[in-house]
Amino acid sequence: MSEEILLECKNLKKYFNTPRGTLHAVDDVSFKLEKGKTLGVVGESGCGKSTLGRTILKALDPTGGKIIFEGKDITDMKKREFTKYRKDMQLIFQDPFASLDPKMSVYQIIEEPLKIFKVFKTKKETEDRVIELMKTVGLDERYVNTYPHELDGGRRQRIGIARALALNPKFIICDEPVSALDVSIQAQVLNLMMDLKDKRGLTYIFITHDLSVVKHISDDILVLYLGKMVEKTDSDTLFAKPLHPYTKALLSAVPIPDISYKGKEAEVVKGEVTSPIDPPEGCRFAARCPRATEKCFAKTPDFYEAEPNHFVACHLYE
């Protein structure tokens, strides 16, 4: 029995016009995300991860391609028609402090989406729901009238998670939700998100640059480089047998928490990053790739299935 596809992106693109030319932030990204699964999206800063997430949620209008949610094409859907889907698609932001209104209390922040969508008719029902959400994310009821600046980063992020859960969404994009937190707090928030996924059947896109984090939470991983997909497979396979030279370099940079470890040194990626403004034909990683050939500079590699359920965009495997 095939799994139910919740979200599908087909050749999704997001370009920005700049004084120097057209910036290709997201370029021809395609994938399917099954209900109840987590897709990790990784890559270095500036590769288009956050822009991809905001484009999927239609916070940014796509330049091209299709976004299909629960079998419905929402790409060019009018704002009024899209409102009913907005409840099912939520976002957890990277910076828990910047994403919260400093003039609103914890109660008001979590209550806001319930008021906007008029979920409850009585004040008592709303109050009960806010308290329930606080308990769900591990926030003590005594913080109900507290303001964000009075709390630490972990509690602020729990507020953001509670707000995202308020409307019982089916799908959440987590945009580096633990990168601004201490390591011990990161583990708590990650475990909370995994518990919520299991209990509520949530589907995640988890955006991060931290490969140790993405391995912990993701079913499949998509690697981006300058807006282009370079590799996609399940989490275990990616860590055991990466194919693309860029993926290998990323994995070699993950620190091993063992002072006696005598493994290979990290692969240093040299050279300048290719400009994403009107990029030339060819592989965008070619200028930094130690295995690049003339073909890599002349022809953009196709994204194809090199092994069962293991996709890569690299001429080395053709």
Does the pLDDT value for residue 270 go beyond 70?
Answer: yes
* Locus of tokens 């994995």: 251
Integer Cα distance of 169 and 233 in angstroms = 26
pLDDT of residue 102: 93
291, part of any domain = no
Same domain flag for 54 and 184: yes
pLDDT of residue 40: 96
Q: What angle do CA 219, 224, 227 make, to 5 degrees?
A: 140
Residue 93's identity, in one-letter code, is F
Same domain flag for 178 and 148: no
97, part of any domain = no
Convert the pLDDT of each residue in 176-205 to its tens digit.
Answer: 888 877 788 888 888 889 999 999 999 999
Tell me the Ramachandran region of residue 284: left when phi exceeds 0, alpha when psi lies from -120 to 50, beta otherwise.
Answer: alpha
Rg (CA), the chain: 21
Integer Cα distance of 134 and 169 in angstroms = 16
- Grouping H, G, I as helix, E, B as strand and the rest as coil, residue 211 is helix
- Grouping H, G, I as helix, E, B as strand and the rest as coil, residue 27 is strand
End-to-end CA distance of the chain: 32
Same domain flag for 81 and 173: yes
Average pLDDT over residues 80-100: 89
Same domain flag for 188 and 72: yes
What is residue 314's DSSP assignment? -
Same domain flag for 212 and 251: yes
Contact 284, 24 (CB under 8 A): no
- CA dihedral for 179, 181, 183, 189, sign (positive or negative): negative
Confidence label for 261 from pLDDT (cuts 50, 70 and 90) = low
Name which of 87-96, 128-137, 216-225, 226-235 the model is least confident about. Answer: 87-96
Please tell me the total count of domains within the chain. Answer: 2
* Locus of tokens 């997909």: 229
Same domain flag for 2 and 62: yes
Is pTM beyond 0.85 here?
A: yes
pLDDT of residue 1: 36
Average pLDDT of the chain to the nearest whole number: 91
Question: How many other CB atoms are there within 10 angstroms of residue 155's CB atom?
Answer: 19
218-248 burial: b if 16+ Cβ within 10 Å, else e = bbbbbbbbbbbbbbbbebebbbeebbbbbbb
Average pLDDT over residues 288-304: 93
pLDDT of residue 258: 61
Same domain flag for 27 and 151: no
Contact 206, 38 (CB under 8 A): yes
- Grouping H, G, I as helix, E, B as strand and the rest as coil, residue 10 is strand
What is residue 42's DSSP assignment? E
Contact 51, 60 (CB under 8 A): yes
5, part of any domain = yes
Long-range contacts of 273-279, Cβ-Cβ distance < 8 Å, separation of 24 or more = 273/46, 273/226, 274/226, 276/23, 276/24, 276/25, 276/46, 276/48, 276/226, 276/227, 277/18, 277/20, 277/21, 277/22, 277/23, 277/24, 278/21, 278/22, 278/24, 279/24, 279/226
Does the pLDDT value for residue 168 go beyond 70?
Answer: yes
Convert the pLDDT of each residue in 38-84 to its tens digit.
Answer: 999 999 888 999 999 999 999 999 999 999 999 999 999 988 888 88
pLDDT of residue 283: 95
pLDDT of residue 183: 80
Same domain flag for 31 and 180: yes
Same domain flag for 78 and 182: yes
Instruction: Name the residue range of residue 129's domain.
Output: 103-167
pLDDT of residue 180: 75
Same domain flag for 35 and 2: yes
Question: What stretches of 166-286 show up as alpha helix (H) in DSSP?
Answer: 183-200, 211-217, 235-240, 245-252
Same domain flag for 133 and 14: no
- Grouping H, G, I as helix, E, B as strand and the rest as coil, residue 147 is coil
Same domain flag for 133 and 228: no
Q: What is the CATH number of the domain that holds 82?
A: 3.40.50.300
308, part of any domain = no
